Structure 1
């Protein structure tokens, strides 16, 4: 039956402790590395055979990915790798711009702990780029940096909103990063944002952030178009 063959790139050389989490980690890695493309059906039997785990374990692991927005579950069709929707991406990008600008404008009043969170997030992103970390790690640190900008506003509710928005962007951003393979350039553009913040030039920071996020949206939509 089509779709029941094992996924040969998946590997679960793991201890049987927290097997669901480890299975979800391996599936997540395969998605971010492009081994499981958007729209790929995630059949329980095939994945269970590939990972050497039970179907209930796979079912729970797939539920984790669905909850993260990396996979979708449809009645009578099962679970598949999520396919980003261009209209949703556009809306999310508009919303994240509002949230991140709100945070950037709070830099002068932010406490040193909030500012250090931004600096530390940048350092982590640069380290990931310099060490050629996996796309999953790059993606996590990239979004953590942008979340740190929202955190400057000091509002847990705004941060929660941002986290929900970024969950919708994770897969699309990973696809763009794989296509571009320009992690050092990305790290450089984020370094510029922090330098502008440190200088106290908030209008220039806002302008650079608008340019940065507009470019990200264009890149995402172009990538989706290429895959259509």
Structure 2
């Protein structure tokens, strides 16, 4: 391990646009399903439904959190609907799987999505056996990243010392609470984060490609 990472014993990874390239554009399919769900729920045209969707995301952390707060939407129904997508844009990533296998310590997926969807994505990527667990939105009691409770919750659930943990995430704002409790933070600057003027002082490492970074830090192991 590089010296600055030699203390890490737990590796946390976001899922969407992190474990697969943002260029796969898988989340665009989910985004359209969320817009359609809101349009049907609130009897809106698609343009207005999309505006509402993004406002909920910005104000509440996730679209689901906004829908639950504002309209008491059943989370299970919403998640089942928006994750009902084809995943043929994803391909197995053997170099990432090999690099993850070399990482010393525990590997956990930390996602605002749900576990069934995460497992489908991981299987499609050839990473089904690469992680100890998936800590999903239900494990967070439906309080998503970047709420501080989500980070405290995963540390409690798995007995993680945050000062010995590293978190990889494409949404920079989701790294700030991780850094606040002592985690090493890795921002995947791949274009999925739209707030380019935001403070980045809480980012320890910036990468553009997770596979390339993982291979580079494990090639001597």
TM-score (norm 1): 0.23
Structure of larger gyration radius: 1
Q: Give the strand-richer structure, 1 or 2.
A: 2
- Whichever structure has more helix as a proportion of its residues is 1
Query: Structure 2 length normalisation: TM-score?
Result: 0.23
